[in-house]
């Protein structure tokens, strides 16, 4: 039975409760999981897919209800201030979301793999502990990363969509737009909806349009962030532009939102919140937007940071007898050791004093990863337009952050091809790790 048209808040509350019941009673459950970096795009694509699919599940669906999973522990939501800002626009709060903590019910009973189906959004290979336990239960995917070809070509009745674009959420909008439109046909006839949700609009049609606007604003947040409000060269595709137009139309149909809607102000609000990481520690900044892979017996971690390396260096609280460079290398080494990493990369994005969007790339490797790191440096130099780079706050000696045969291999570059994000850089690192001997 399909979930009746309702608010996003009501849907998420119902989905979380249903997950607990499924765990306790060994019932089937369909999980829609974003990737382990749990950024805005993973959040919104998983919630949007689950919400629309539950309103209009396809024939042959494993279950009629789809449960969105934020692929981090609940405590890590505090590292993402942009979430709180977005939640206010969507009329939800963190407690409504299902996180990794919720896959274990209070009595310790695990969600049994045979009772699950997983739909992946914003990635196409289930990693980590989830991958080990539920990797064989993946039945569908909507993603904009490089196809790792680990998912069957036929995932019916769920989609298999892997396509380059700015935001995975754009692909979810396009894929499920017909279902959203068909579910809206009877949504204006939901008797008593306004009173049930505590809304104060005049009629049920107005209520459902308000609900649609809240969902649309949630979805727009990640598309606008990932495409810099549709201005990012080399990232924006037609599907992103079409999705923004469709979602904005939903907002403009809402009696409560139409007159107040300003896309640029909305984007700037979410973007400012995402970049507000001043209160975070060195380690928290690195794990805020972090992904990890294993290739050829070597572990790779890649962190995306929305401030330059100089900002990150000032967060180091290491041994005061060491210089800043040694403290930085030691701090990165500790982060790597805690995650058993062989190679670790930091990708920074920021706006220069001249107003130019810039990227830095830092790579550090253990001795077992020296060959792979060196291979990456050679192969990626032209593809990413890498230039040697010095960070004044890290060292007083220009060029000191260079590969070394002793101790950790490390290197800083200015990445001149700013169109290449982690979606392109991580596969290059992984390829170098697989090719190394």
* 294-348 confidence digits (pLDDT tens): 999 999 999 999 999 999 998 987 667 678 888 899 999 999 999 999 999 999 9
* CB-count exposure of residue 378 (10 Å: 0-12, 13-18, 19+): exposed
Neighbours of 365 (CB within 10 A): 27
How many percent of the chain have pLDDT more than 70? 89
The pLDDT value recorded for residue 392 is: 77
Least confident of 18-32, 73-87, 121-135, 193-207: 193-207
Written as six digits, the tokens of 232 are: 């990012």
Which band of pLDDT confidence, cut at 50, 70 and 90, is reported for residue 187? very low
Least confident of 155-159, 398-402, 420-424, 427-431: 398-402
Query: Cβ distance 151 to 24 under 8 Å?
Result: no
The pLDDT value recorded for residue 323 is: 80
Instruction: Judge whether residue 193 has pLDDT over 80.
Output: no
Instruction: Judge whether residue 12 has pLDDT over 80.
Output: yes
The pLDDT value recorded for residue 183 is: 80
Least confident of 85-94, 167-176, 191-200, 208-217: 191-200
Q: Give every strand in the sheet of 160-162, ordered side by side.
A: 98-99, 66-70, 29-33, 116-121, 138-143, 160-162
Q: pLDDT tens for residues 81-135?
A: 999 999 999 999 999 999 999 885 444 457 889 999 999 999 999 988 899 899 9
Neighbours of 210 (CB within 10 A): 24
């Amino acid at each position: 039975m399909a979930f009746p048209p309702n608010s996003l808040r009501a849907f998420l509350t119902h989905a979380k409760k249903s997950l607990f019941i499924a765990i306790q009673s060994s019932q089937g459950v369909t999980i829609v999981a974003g990737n382990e970096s749990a950024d805005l795009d993973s959040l919104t694509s998983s919630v949007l897919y689950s919400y629309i699919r539950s309103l209009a599940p396809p024939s042959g669906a494993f279950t009629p209800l789809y449960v969105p999973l934020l692929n981090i522990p609940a405590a890590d939501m505090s590292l993402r201030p942009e979430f709180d800002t977005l939640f206010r626009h969507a009329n939800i709060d963190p407690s409504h979301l299902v996180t990794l903590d919720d896959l274990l019910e209070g009595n310790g009973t695990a969600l049994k793999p045979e009772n699950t189906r997983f739909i992946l959004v914003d990635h196409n290979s289930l990693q980590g502990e989830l991958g080990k336990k539920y990797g064989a239960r993946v039945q569908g995917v909507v993603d904009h990363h490089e196809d790792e070809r680990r998912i069957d070509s036929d995932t019916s009745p769920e989609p298999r969509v892997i396509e380059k674009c700015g935001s995975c959420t754009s692909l979810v909008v396009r894929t499920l737009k017909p279902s959203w439109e068909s579910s809206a046909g009877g949504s204006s006839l939901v008797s008593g909806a306004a009173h049930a949700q505590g809304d104060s609009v005049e009629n049920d049609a107005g209520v459902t349009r308000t609900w649609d606007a809240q969902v649309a604003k949630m979805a727009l947040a990640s598309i606008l962030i990932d495409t810099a409000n549709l201005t990012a060269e080399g990232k924006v595709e037609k599907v992103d532009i079409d999705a923004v137009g469709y979602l904005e139309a939903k907002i403009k149909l809402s009696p409560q939102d139409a007159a107040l809607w300003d896309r640029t102000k909305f984007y700037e609000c979410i973007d400012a919140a995402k970049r507000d990481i001043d209160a975070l520690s060195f380690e928290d900044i690195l794990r805020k937007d972090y992904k990890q892979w294993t290739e050829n017996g070597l572990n790779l971690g890649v962190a995306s940071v929305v401030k330059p390396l100089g900002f990150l260096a000032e967060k180091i609280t290491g041994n005061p007898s060491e210089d800043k460079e040694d403290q930085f290398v030691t701090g990165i080494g500790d982060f790597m050791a805690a995650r058993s990493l062989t190679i670790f990369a930091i990708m920074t994005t920021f706006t220069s004093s001249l107003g130019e969007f810039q990227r830095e790339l830092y790579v550090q490797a253990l001795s077992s990863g020296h060959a792979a790191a060196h291979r990456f440096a050679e192969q990626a130099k032209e593809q990413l337009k890498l230039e040697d780079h010095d960070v004044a706050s890290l060292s007083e000696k220009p060029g000191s952050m260079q590969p070394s045969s002793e101790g950790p291999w490390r290197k800083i570059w200015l990445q001149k091809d700013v169109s290449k994000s982690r979606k392109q850089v991580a596969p290059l690192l992984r390829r170098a790790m697989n090719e190394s001997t």
